[in-house]
Amino acid sequence: MDPMIIMARLAPKVVGPLVRKLLVRPGPGAFLVGRPLRIARLVSFRGEQRTLGEREVRRIAAKLVERAVTPLPGATGPARERPVAPDEDRAVTDALSRTLWALGDLDTEIAQDARLEAGELARQLRRAAPDAARELTGDGAELHSVLVDTAALHILNHFTQLTGFVARTVVENRRTLGRIDDTVGALAARLPSRSAEDAAFEAQYALDTAVLHSHLTIFGLDLVHSPDSWPLDAAYLGLRCEPEPPAADRGGAPEPAVPAEHALSGLCRVLVRGVAGSGKTTLLQWLAVATARGELPPALRRALYGRVPFLLPVRRFAHHGLPSPGAFLAAVCYPGAEAQPPGWADRVLRAGRALLLIDGVDEAPEDRREALRRKLRDWTALYPGNVWIVTSRPSAVRADWLTADGFTELSLAPMSREDIAAFIQRWHRAAAQQAPDDMDRLPHYERTLLNAVRITRDLGRLATNPLMCGMICALHRDRRGYLPNGRKELYEAALSMLLERRDRERAMGTTDGIDLPRQPKIQLLQKLAHWMLVNGRSEMDREIAVDTLAQHLPAIPDAARQGDPEEIYRHLLNRTGLLREPAPGTVDFVHRTFQDFLAARATVQRHDFGLLLNHAHLSEWEDVIRMAVALARPDECAALLNGLLAPRPGIRAAEARHRKLLAAACVGHAAELDPEVRHRVRRFTRDMVRPSTVAGARALGWIGPIVLEMLPEPAEVSDDEAYLLAVTATSIADDMAIDYLAGLRKRTSPDVRAQLAGAWRRYDTARYAREIIAHLDPDELFFPVADTEELHALRELGGRPYLQIAGEFTVAELIDGIVPADGLVRLWLAYGLGASMAWLAAFPRLEELRISGRLPPVTGVPEGIRVVEL
């Protein structure tokens, strides 16, 4: 049973009049007497003003139950389900009537300051009628609980509207009722009357969407009898998003990264940026399945419940542009596309009931992205009321690319140390569920890997997204606890694992009669990746793939003598774990990162560095060029870097700057490089690493730790420039940044201090606390705490007067961890606690409570604490 569905059915405009029948209005001046009134004197079935009896109270209870079990008009799927079986309605009605009758037994006072809250009133009702729900089943008891909570809210709301009554909770109660009203209104607007044909197709489409996207491939879980994919429910690691402030935004403590469902809450148009492997596609897949099932987290229920999800990967139509609504399902090769009623998708969009998930703007060629943006602008105007979530790699589109069209920009945050540890633990638990031969060694692998990512800097830098984390877990296990160093070595080892050991570990023979060694497989896969690179594609037609292999097979005799191009293609598809057919007649790589790596290998082997230099200003070539530098010989590497620095005809100033910064980013990937070339790169880029805007400062972090050596000395710059340098340095999630940031820790500028405090979760907790947090002037500065380790670190430093709650805590953890209790002056909730704020009474000097805008209003705030909603 979904309580949100029940609450949606219990519309205040219907429930309110029913509950008010249980109550009477006190006489004039009742609240002006010296003593407050008691609830028992205000019910309509007790005392001198009695108008109802037990039979009438039961009728009211029966009507409330009837409303709770009756679906809203037009509801489908879970929204149509009954919370209890029909034969349980009577039992729930009996229990509710006995609980409501207990109102007449309450000795509770209704005072002018309304210290009583709806939750407490509901608890008192249950205590007054302890046996009322004893005979109910689990679902029946839950329905009874929801109805009691709803009735208590309306009872108190009735009292707050009485003449002479001045209530602290009037605003809070009315906000709660308003949220229920809004939810009902939003659901009703999304569920207009539809034809039986539309409703039937929609129900089937929801079921199919949940099935088609309910599994995802987590790299590395395809060895030692493990499955090729993971159930989404088990695999989805709660990704975190952080806001992308406008380019000119600065000042104040930054909003922390929060779970994606909280960041997306209340937003109708969102652009989510994330690096390769950060989980962009997984996030959209999870949203599609959760919406199709109607199993949404509370933060997203109101916005997404009842919507129809359309997951549209841009790679499927990169060269033809977004399809028309009628072609959505065909474009993504949905098996039931031909069964959709004519005009159905357009009707869904015009009714404002769709969830549009447009994945991978960076997959479109650069010269077509502007057309894609115009189409999004036109569609959001033509189809208001829908929810649009678009994803892209960070560098593929400029800052504020969709801001003018009403889109909010978010970024998928790098996995924190806690996220990485959680992923590693979950990965090993999933592997253990397959009862592999190395079951007894899995706990050891898990412990040693957790320790390795904590103490090995290079490994920690690599394991910042789900793709790389999964790869590291698989390689660590495959190599029995040994891991290669560096990104190039990691990918080489991954190819070896997939192409050479995969079938052997899974005890699979040559079922297709083909047994290719590792090197020929790599050579053939490189040909496909190189074709995609040159042609600006992220997938290719099956016929083109077979023809490409046919062109190159004669030069690879180990492959040519084992089968024709079609047979070799099928072998690569079924046996390498790197290719897939996302739709009939098309093929792509399981992840763009592998395509880029293999394309870089092919380009280096062909000595086609001119191709790389001709395209170095394009964002989709960045990773290919960086990997090419890692793969090239020293002289080739030097030529490539010098080529990036050299003037080039037809290149705009911004593109020339991009090429030079790319050269700086590549230096760290070179295994061997002439010192003179390294010095030349730094000389050319030294003046370019003095950012003049927040967006420019943030973009410099893309270069990596090497930029720290190029930034100016912190002591030699103004406060304004120091702030921009802090933005750049804190964008580099490497503990090397702490040494540079230490030069900024004595600054008195509020902007600099807030930037340093807000970056804590990116680094080693103890070291950052010791070297940065301990030295920041606490005056008017909010210190964020995202976990108990950070809370303990602040406690060791003697506490801080201003705190920002930036992670998931229990009330007990905060009361115990915020020390000294009388030292807390201001508290900022950037992360919901899901509890009454009455616990704040434990902090006697607390003056102000700040609430981030994406959180719901709080209740139970002790008297004397000012609430500020941001």
- 627: confidence class by pLDDT, cuts 50, 70, 90: very high
pLDDT value for 509 = 46
- 123: confidence class by pLDDT, cuts 50, 70, 90: confident
Query: How would you classify the pairing of strands 783-785 and 258-259?
Result: unpaired
Query: How would you classify the pairing of strands 308-313 and 354-359?
Result: parallel
User: Would you call 446 helix, strand, or coil by DSSP?
Assistant: helix
pLDDT value for 591 = 76
- 483: confidence class by pLDDT, cuts 50, 70, 90: confident
Percentage, residues of the chain above pLDDT 70: 83
Contact 692, 724 (CB under 8 A): yes
- 631: confidence class by pLDDT, cuts 50, 70, 90: very high
User: Would you call 150 helix, strand, or coil by DSSP?
Assistant: helix
C-alpha torsion sign, points 198, 201, 207, 210: negative
User: Would you call 151 helix, strand, or coil by DSSP?
Assistant: helix
Return mean pLDDT, the chain.
82
Contact 176, 170 (CB under 8 A): no
Alpha carbons 115 and 160: distance in angstroms, whole number: 12
Mean pLDDT of 24-40: 55
The structure tokens listed for 397 are 């589109």
Does residue 506 have a pLDDT over 70?
no
pLDDT value for 154 = 82
CA angle 110, 114, 118 (to 5 degrees): 90
DSSP 43: B
Alpha carbons 623 and 551: distance in angstroms, whole number: 27
Q: Which of 810, 104, 762, 119 is nearest to 464 (CA)?
A: 762
Q: At what angle do helices 138-160 and 89-101 cross, to 10 degrees?
A: 40
The structure tokens listed for 287 are 């949203």
**Which contiguous run of DSSP H or E holds residue 789?**
helix 788-796
**For residue range 141-188, what is the model confidence (pLDDT) as tens digits?**
878 888 988 888 888 777 666 544 444 444 445 555 555 555 555 555
User: Which segments of 684-726 are extended strands (E)?
Assistant: none
- Average the pLDDT over each of 104-113, 351-360, 392-401, 572-581 and give the range with the smallest value: 104-113
Note the CATH number of domain 505-590: 1.10.10
- 730: confidence class by pLDDT, cuts 50, 70, 90: very high
CA distances for 281 relative to 216, 349, 361, 412, 427, angstroms: 10, 22, 12, 11, 19
- 803: confidence class by pLDDT, cuts 50, 70, 90: very high
Q: Do domains 200-412 and 505-590 have the same CATH topology?
A: no
Alpha carbons 325 and 343: distance in angstroms, whole number: 8
Does residue 34 have a pLDDT over 60?
no
Alpha carbons 379 and 126: distance in angstroms, whole number: 51
């009203």: which residue's tokens?
Answer: 181
Q: Which of 717, 725, 754 is nearest to 741 (CA)?
A: 725
Contact 393, 346 (CB under 8 A): no
pLDDT value for 550 = 95
CA angle 86, 87, 89 (to 5 degrees): 70
**Which contiguous run of DSSP H or E holds residue 308?**
strand 308-313
Contacts of 421 (CB under 8 A, 6+ apart): 450, 453
pLDDT value for 454 = 77
DSSP 330-355: HHTT-TTGGGSPTTHHHHHHHTT-EE
The structure tokens listed for 816 are 């115990």
C-alpha torsion sign, points 169, 171, 172, 173: positive
Alpha carbons 658 and 668: distance in angstroms, whole number: 17
Helices marked H in 44-137 — which ranges?
A: 54-69, 89-101, 118-128
Q: Find the farthest-apart pair of alpha carbons in the chain and give their distance in angstroms, rounded.
A: 102
Does residue 465 have a pLDDT over 80?
no
CA angle 205, 574, 499 (to 5 degrees): 130
Domain ranges of the chain: 3-190, 200-412, 417-483, 505-590, 782-870
Q: Which of 726, 645, 626, 643 is nearest to 685 (CA)?
A: 645
CA angle 279, 274, 542 (to 5 degrees): 65
Alpha carbons 303 and 308: distance in angstroms, whole number: 12
pLDDT value for 113 = 39
Does residue 617 have a pLDDT over 80?
yes
Does residue 256 have a pLDDT over 70?
yes
Cα-to-chain-centroid distance, residue 29: 54
Q: Tell the CATH topology of 200-412.
A: Rossmann fold (3.40.50)
For residue 567, the tally of other CB atoms under 10 A from its CB is: 16
Alpha carbons 46 and 380: distance in angstroms, whole number: 57
For residue 638, the tally of other CB atoms under 10 A from its CB is: 20
β-bridge mates for residue 850, sequence order: 828, 868
- 391: confidence class by pLDDT, cuts 50, 70, 90: very high
Does residue 137 have a pLDDT over 80?
no
DSSP 722-747: HHHHHHHHHTS-STHHHHHHGGGTT-
